Amino acid sequence: MINFMRRVPAGTFLIPMVVSMVIYSFWPSLFKIGGPTEAFFSSTGTNYIIGLLVFASGTTVDLHKIGKLLKHQGALVVFKIVL
């Protein structure tokens, strides 16, 4: 399945969202059991998937490269935090 998702542009983002959309369209109360399962398979699933992807992307950051990143983008990050 992961090989198929890699062949589709933005597949790791779109395929779980489409699966969630199809399940919710036909069986909207199927996963009303609470917790992350309900969030993934409900109308708020988009925010859950985006948050999960942002978390997964953040965990793959190489800590040795943060210094170089902050050197180039640090002022922009500080400006956004201040705003």
pLDDT string in tens for the chain (83-residue length): 678 777 878 787 788 888 888 887 888 777 677 676 666 666 667 777 777 777 777 777 777 777 887 788 888 878 888 88
Q: In the chain, what's the furthest Cα-to-Cα distance?
A: 50
- What is the rounded distance in angstroms from the CA atom of residue 41 to the CA atom of residue 24? 6
Give this prediction's pTM.
0.40
Q: How high is the pLDDT of residue 31?
A: 67
Q: Which residue has the tokens 């399962």?
A: 37
Judged on CB neighbours under 10 Å (0-12, 13-18, 19+), 52 is middle
- What is the rounded distance in angstroms from the CA atom of residue 41 to the CA atom of residue 43? 7
- What is the rounded distance in angstroms from the CA atom of residue 11 to the CA atom of residue 39? 20
